[in-house]
Amino acid sequence: MSTVAITSPGRPRGSALGHLGWVLRHNPLTALASAGTLLLCLVAIFSPWLTPYDPIASDVQRALQPPSAAHWAGTDQLGRDLLSRIIAATRLDLAIAVSAVGLSFALGAVVGAFCGYVGGRLDRAVGRFVDVLMAFPLFVLAMAMVAALGNRVENIVIATAIINLPFYVRFARAEVNVRRNLGWVEAARAGGESHAAVVLRYLLPNILPAMAVQISLNLGWAILNAAGLSFIGLGVRPPTPEWGILVAEGARFITTGKWWLVAFPGLALMLAVLCFNLMGDGLRDILDPRQRT
């Protein structure tokens, strides 16, 4: 209030799509990341038609060839085309990340929002527990869970979802907590809404944009997590193409200079995570009320 009141009448009143266009034009990096994410999803959907070779057909004649015109990313120890394997892995990796994050978001947001709204002793207890859990080495926990539940893809999803859960509970709690005493929440009560309706129809939609940022950042984390688990031999098993497994297979040949076996799957992982993270950052910038006109 010590500075000028900045008013910009008119501008953002167009369609939501127009606003999106305006935002993307002014955040080239976000636009790029969004395009990358879209591309990733397309590759995941159409991967069977995009692979130049059969991702699991081995050809020992061509084992361990460096990148060439025929094999852009080289071949592995069984002569399988690495690029095809990387493309084929996209679907699995994205599916794991998306379903794990979806699960933990759905559960975490609702639980967190209710805790934050109700407050009191239960809320403090949940908050305390979540804080403690978050500070625990979560990868170790995920490892133990997958090992115990069984070495299957579903269990990677469950483990990843569980270790993501505290983030959503905590986030939703904090976001609801700062809003629960605002005028419009009390006004909704005065306007005849029940507590449950206030949480579900008023507070949740309001924290959703902020949660979207969290989801985007978390997707990257979930991918790293799943890849890490399969790298150490948990979850997905060879010969199923998966980025973590591809790196693990290539690791054996790194001291003999077969760099492409690690570099290309690593690059795929990195790009996927980068896209999700940049998109999350971009979303945060867009949604930050201080930067909104």
Partner 1 sequence: MTIPLLRIEDLRVTFSTRNGPVEALRGVSFDLRAGETLGIVGESGSGKSVTAFAATRLLDRAGRIADGRILFRGQDVSRLSDKEMRLLHGAALSMIFQNPRAALNPIRTVGLQLADALRAHAEMSAAAARAKALDLLKAVLIRDPERRLDAYPHELSGGMCQRVMIAIAIACEPALLIADEPTTGLDVTTQKTVMDLLARITAERGMAMILITHDLGLAAQYCGRVAVMEHGRLVEEAEPARLFSAPRHPYTKRLVAASPRLDSTLHDLVAGAAGAPGGAPGGAGVARADAPRPADPAGTPLLLEVRNLVKRYDGAVAVDDVSLAMRRGESLGLVGESGSGKSTMSRLICRLIDASAGDILFDGEAIGAIPARDFHRSRFRRDIQIVFQDPNDSLNPRFSAFDSIAQPVKRLTDLRGAALRARVLESADRSGLPPDLLDRFPHQLSGGQKARIGIARAIAVRPRLLVLDEPTAALDVSVQAVILGLLDRLRRDDDLAFLFVSHDLNVVRMMCDRTIVLQAGRVVEEGPSAALFARPRSAYARELLAAIPHFAPGPPLAAIA
Partner 2 sequence: MAQAGSIARTAGRAGRRLLSSAPALFGVLVFTFLLMRVLPGDPAVFFASGPNAGKAEIEALRAQMGLDKPIPEQLVRYLGDIGTGQLGRSMTTGQPVLADLRERLPASLELTFSALLIALLLSVPLGVVAALRPGSPIDHGVRLLCALGVCVPTFVSGLLLIYVFYYLLGYAPDPTGRIDVFAASPPNITSFLLIDFALTGDWAGWRAAASQLVLPAVTMALFVIAPLARITRASMLAVLGSEFIRTARSVGLSRPRVIVTYALRNAILPVLTIAGIVFSTMLGANVLVEKVFSWPGVASYALDALLASDYAPVQGFVLLMAAIFVTVNLVVDILYGIADPRVSVT
Complex with partner 2: residue 151 or 206, whichever CB lies closer: 151
Residue 245 touching partner 2 (CB under 8 A): no
Which one of partner 1, partner 2, none is in contact with 186 (Cβ closer than 5 to 8 A by kind)?
partner 1
Residue 127 touching partner 2 (CB under 8 A): no
Q: How far is CA 87 from CA 37, 75, 215, in A?
A: 14, 14, 24
How is 252-267 classified by DSSP, letter by letter? Answer: TTGGGT-THHHHHHHH
Complex with partner 1: residue 18 or 150, whichever CB lies closer: 18
Return the SS3 of 119. Answer: coil
Q: How many CA atoms lie within 13 A of 38 on its CB side?
A: 6
CB of 192 to partner 1, least distance (A): 3
Considering only the stretches 20-28, 92-100, 128-136, 199-207, report the one whose residues sit in contact with partner 2 under the rule CB under 8 A: 128-136
Residues in contact with partner 1 by CB under 8 A are: 1-8, 11-13, 182-184, 186-195, 202, 205-206, 289, 291-293
How is 225-279 classified by DSSP, letter by letter? Answer: HHHHHHHTT-SS-TTS--HHHHHHHHHTTGGGT-THHHHHHHHHHHHHHHHHHHH
Residue 95 touching partner 2 (CB under 8 A): no
CB of 19 to partner 1, least distance (A): 12
Total residues contacting partner 2 by CB under 8 A comes to 49
Q: Which of 147, 174, 208, 287 binds partner 2 (CB under 8 A)?
A: 147
CB of 80 to partner 2, least distance (A): 19
Backbone angles phi, psi at 75, to 5 degrees: -125, 160
Site string for partner 2, 188-227 (x = CB under 8 A): --------------------------------x---x--x
Residue 139 touching partner 2 (CB under 8 A): yes
Give yes or no for a cis peptide into 239 (omega within 30° of 0). yes
Considering only the stretches 10-18, 48-56, 192-200, 254-262, report the one whose residues sit in contact with partner 2 under the rule CB under 8 A: 254-262
Complex with partner 2: residue 204 or 286, whichever CB lies closer: 286
Q: Report CA dihedral (225, 231, 236, 242) to the nearest 10 degrees.
A: 90
Q: Report how far residue 119's alpha carbon sits from residue 167's, in angstroms, rounded to the nearest whole number.
A: 18
Neighbours of 263 (CB within 10 A): 18
H or E segment and range at residue 16? helix 16-26
* Contact positions vs partner 2 (CB under 8 A): 128-129, 132-141, 143-145, 147-150, 220, 224, 227-228, 231-234, 244, 247-248, 250-251, 254-257, 259, 262-263, 265-266, 269-271, 273-274, 277-278, 281
